[in-house]
Chain A
Amino acid sequence: MSAQGISFESIQVGEALPALEIPVSVELIVSGAIATRDFFPGHHDPEAARKLGSRHIFMNILTSNGLVERYVGGWAGPEALIGEVKIRLGAPNYPGDIMTMTGEVSAKDEAARALTVQLRGSNSMGEHVSGQVTLLFAEGAMA
């Protein structure tokens, strides 16, 4: 284990990531939407969201992507670079809910110095997001 994050050598397939609970708030949804330049009204205007048949504003996909990076990247640390983020989208994230992120290492490629992490983020309605992230530890990766 480095000062922050993991070391590629010590990680085994099957290792679980610590769970992370992310409270879903109006603040998170709105600041996430604006930080990703997504001004679709359903992500900041409750009235507009209701007209779309939603009970409240709902999280945009690029925020879900960012939270996946936060979860996996925060665990892996700054040495790990991200090669792929493949997610499947499910139940919406509404304010007041909690999204619990869980994950585990599903593959380790010694030659490429790459890890695959399977993850899911579940809220009270089911799986908001599930998918996989590829992490790269090779010298000069992603440069």
Chain B
Amino acid sequence: MSEQNLSWLDEARALIGHEYGKVYAWDAVNQPMVRQWCEAMGVDNALYLDGVSAKARFGANVAPPTMLQVWVLAGLNGRFPEGSATDNPYEVLQIIERNGYPSVVAVNSEQSYRRYLKEGEKIAFTSQIESVSEEKTTGLGTGFFVTQLLNFYDEADALVGQMRFRLFKFRAPERARPADKPRRPLPGISDENRFFWDGLKDRKLKIQRCTACNTLRHPPGPACPDCHSLASDSVEVSGRGRIYSYSVVHHPTLPGVPQPNPVGLIELTEGVRVVAGLVDVDPAHIEIGREVEVDYLECADELVIPVFRPVGGA
């Protein structure tokens, strides 16, 4: 990490421990919101719903503890009630974002409760950034784990619960932009032909093989055309072959597909024939019998399709 990077990270870390808030709840804990929450979640706990159990135990109706943060969210308009602090608890994330880490994903939520909230109480919360990690690389990309601590208080300023919320603020690894890749119609993928399309993603051309008589067949299908066995597996083939026949498609034109579009029927050295696009050929001078080899065309939507090019150039 360069000196320059350190200065903004120091700026971010200087905010650790600064308390933001207080921010108040719009509504007191109330039975309609509790009941609606229970309906949505499928919670049928009598403690929240029968109007009797909680009164016997706590002297009042109570809210489900996992609703803790629900009471203090801004809601549709993104505003908090009058009297709430207007400082910005996400300064740290903005600093990290400005320095090249635009994406964010929530990683952990840890709530602990001091007591159950009762009907009629109005809570408030403060927050602080507890930690900003070293730069880390995960499966998602490279960035920083940021841990926020929220403290929830009742009207007497007593702590009623806490929530630790950890985010990963990151940038995804550099990849070719999807816009750079041609968009092709997506194939219908079934259990029968999935091996073929998955193989292409690994830059492997795989062909279905009858495990009863070892005959290769393509396109994939349920039964061997030779011995009618339903048992099959797949094998990786050489990807070399010859143009057995071809066609040059002029119409219809499709976005992402070359126009005109040369399509070959390739007889692989293993004997089975495959239909695929031809690349690096002059559509006006395609030669039957020409030796070709497979290449893998990466398309949008993570689709990879096989194409064939002449061996040794056009």
Q: Which residues of A contact B58 (CB under 8 A)?
A: 143
Pair B111/A35 contact, Cβ less than 8 Å: no
State whether A87 touches B43 (Cβ < 8 A). Answer: no
Asked if A39 meets B41 with Cβ closer than 8 Å, knowing A87-B110, A89-B108, A143-B115, the reply is no
Binds B, one of A9-17, A62-70, A104-112: A62-70
| A-side contacts of B106, CB under 8 Å | 61, 89
Q: What number of A-B contacts does a CB cutoff of 8 Å give?
A: 107
Within 8 A of B (CB), among A53-85: 61-70, 73-74, 77-78, 81-85
Please determine whether A66 and B41 come into contact, CB atoms closer than 8 angstroms.
yes
In the bound assembly, the distance between CA atoms of A135 and B126 in angstroms comes to 26
Among residues of A, the one whose C-beta sits closest to the C-beta of B105 is A89
Q: Which residue of B lies closest to A27 (CB)?
A: B40
Q: Within B92-115, which residues are at the interface with A (CB < 8 Å)?
A: 105-115
- Contact present for A86 and B39 (CB under 8 Å): no
Report if A7 contacts B (CB, 8 A): no
In the complex, are the beta carbons of A67 and B41 less than 8 A apart? yes
User: Chain B contacts of A73 at CB under 8 A?
Assistant: 43, 45, 64
How many angstroms between the C-alpha atoms of A81 and B53 in the bound complex?
13
Q: List chain B residues, Cβ under 8 A from A68.
A: 66
Chain B binding surface SS class: mixed
Interchain CB contact under 8 A, A35 and B110: no
- The residue in chain A whose Cβ has the minimal distance to the Cβ of B64 is A69
A78 touches B109 (CB 8 A): no
Contact status B70-A62, CB under 8 Å: yes
**Roughly how many angstroms separate A4 CA and B63 CA in the complex, as a whole number?**
19
Give Cα A142–Cα B160 distance, bound, in whole angstroms: 10
B66 near A69: Cβ-Cβ < 8 Å: yes
Say if the beta carbon of B20 comes within 8 Å of chain A: no
User: Does A28 count as interface, using CB distance less than 8 angstroms?
Assistant: yes
Q: B233 within 8 Å of A by Cβ? A: no
Which residues of chain B are within 8 angstroms of A48 by Cβ–Cβ distance?
none
What A residues does B64 contact at CB under 8 A? 66, 69, 73
Q: 1/0 per residue A23-51: CB within 8 Å of B? A: 00000100110111111000000000000
Partner of A89, one of B33, B107, B112: B107
Cβ contact within 8 Å between B40 and A62: no
Cβ of B1 under 8 Å from chain A: no
| A interface residues, tally (CB under 8 Å) | 36
A62 adjacent to B43 (CB under 8 Å): no
B45 touches A78 (CB 8 A): yes
Docked pose: A130 CA to B37 CA in angstroms: 22
A85 & B39 in contact (Cβ 8 Å cutoff): no
Q: Say yes or no: A84-B110 contact (C-beta < 8 A), given A37-B73, A143-B116.
A: yes
Separation of A86 and B163 alpha carbons in the complex (Å): 9
Over the window 10-41 of chain B, the binary record of Cβ atoms lying under 8 Å from chain A Cβ atoms (1 yes, 0 no) is 00000000000000000000000100110111
Chain A, Cβ-Cβ closest to B111:
A85
Counting CB contacts under 8 A, is B227 at the interface? no
A4 CA to B44 CA, complexed, in Å: 11
**Residues on the B chain within 8 Å of A61, using CB:** 106, 109
B47 lies within 8 A of chain A by Cβ: yes
Which of chain B's residues have a CB closer than 8 A to the CB of A34?
40
Contact between A70 and B41, CB atoms less than 8 A apart = yes
* A87 and B73 contacting across the interface, CB-CB below 8 Å: no
CA distance in complex: A39, B64 (Å):
20
Among A31, A70, A82, A86, the residue within 8 A (CB) of B110 is A86
Expressed in whole angstroms, the minimum distance between the Cβ of A83 and any Cβ of chain B is 6
User: Across the two chains, which residue of chain A brings its CB closest to B73?
Assistant: A37
Q: Is the CB of B73 within 8 A of A38?
A: yes
12 example contacts (A-B, Cβ-Cβ < 8 A) are as follows A35-B33, A37-B73, A66-B40, A69-B41, A69-B43, A78-B45, A84-B112, A85-B65, A87-B108, A88-B108, A89-B108, A142-B115
Q: A35-B37, A35-B39, A36-B37 are in contact. List 4 more A-B contacts (CB 8 A).
A: A34-B40, A64-B109, A73-B43, A89-B107
* 6 closest A-B pairs by CB: A35-B40, A66-B41, A31-B40, A86-B110, A37-B73, A69-B66
